[in-house]
Amino acid sequence: MSAAAIIAANVFGSLASFPVWWYTRGALRMAGKCFGLVREQARDYGVNVWIKNLFVPMFGQRDIWGKLISFWLRSTMIIFYSFLLLMLSLAMLAAMAAWLALPAAAVLVFLGQIIGLLRA
C-alpha cells in the first residue's frame, strides 16, 4: 500500500469516526467537565455548611439580636449562593446544548455555502 493511500484512508477514517466520537465519548467528557465545575463551585460556596449552621449564632453572641443577625446573614448568603449555582448550572446546560448542536450547525452552514455556490 502506498503512503498516499494510507494517508487518505487515515484522513477519511478520521472524518467518518469524528461524529461518533463527538456524540459519545466527547459528549460524555464535556458533560463530566460541566458537572464537575458545578460540583466544585457548590463545594467552594459551601451552601450545605451555611444551611447546617443557619440557626447557630455567630461569634457566640446568644442574645436575640445576635441570633436574628446571624439568621438573616446566613439566609441571605444561602439565597445568593444558590442563585449563583442555578445560573452556573443553566450556563453549563447551555454549553452542553451548544456542544451537541455545533456539528449540525457547521454542516448546515457548509451545505448553505455549497447551495449558494451552485445557484450562482
**Hey, CA dihedral for 70, 60, 48, 44, is it positive or negative?**
positive
Which position has the grid cell 484512508? Answer: 9
Task: Taking each helix axis as running N to C, give the angle between helix 25-45 and helix 3-23, from 0 to 180 degrees, rounded to the nearest 10.
Answer: 50
The average pLDDT across 30-53 equals 96
- Count of C-beta atoms within a 10 Å radius of residue 50: 19
pTM: 0.81
pLDDT tens for 87-112 read: 999 999 999 999 999 999 999 999 99
Percent of the chain that is helix, strand, coil (3-state, to 5): 90, 0, 10
